[in-house]
Amino acid sequence: MSANIPEACCTLEISGERQEKLIAMFKALGNPTRFEIMKFLVTHPGCITGDIVSFLPIAQATVSQHLRVLRDAGFIKGTVAGTATSYCLYEENIVWFRSEIGDVF
């Protein structure tokens, strides 16, 4: 008989780069303001930074900083359009995120 470990409700079988990437995504989502930005982008795809700044009660510089965190985590994608920057969800990465969670949880 091998060690009898009762099976858990999740495997968490992940490591290395995949784990780091997943943790960075969790961290990015673990902030109320960034979560609101994500929600806003679902209903306002392609909106520009200024739209998000108008929507949120925080300064433009702060919004820009949060957008960077979301961008670095892979959740959103920015496209420069004239003087503005248009933002969308980064669908491929979100699909990856969902898939990884499905694997480990």
Partner DNA sequence: TCCTTTTATCGTATATTTACGATGATTATA
Partner DNA sequence: TATAATCATCGTAAATATACGATAAAAGGA
Helices 60-73 and 32-43, interaxial angle, to 10°?
80
Interacting residues of 27 by C-beta distance below 8 A, sequence separation 6+: 73
Query: Comparing C-alpha atoms, which of 51, 35, 58, 46 is closest to residue 86?
Result: 46
Q: Quick one: which of 1, 42, 61, 80 contacts a copy of itself (CB under 8 A)?
A: 42
Site for DNA contains 58 (CB under 7 A): yes
Site for a copy of itself contains 49 (CB under 8 A): no
What residues line the site for a copy of itself (CB under 8 A)? 5-6, 8-12, 14, 19-20, 23-24, 26-32, 35, 38-39, 41-45, 89, 91, 94-95, 97-98, 101, 105
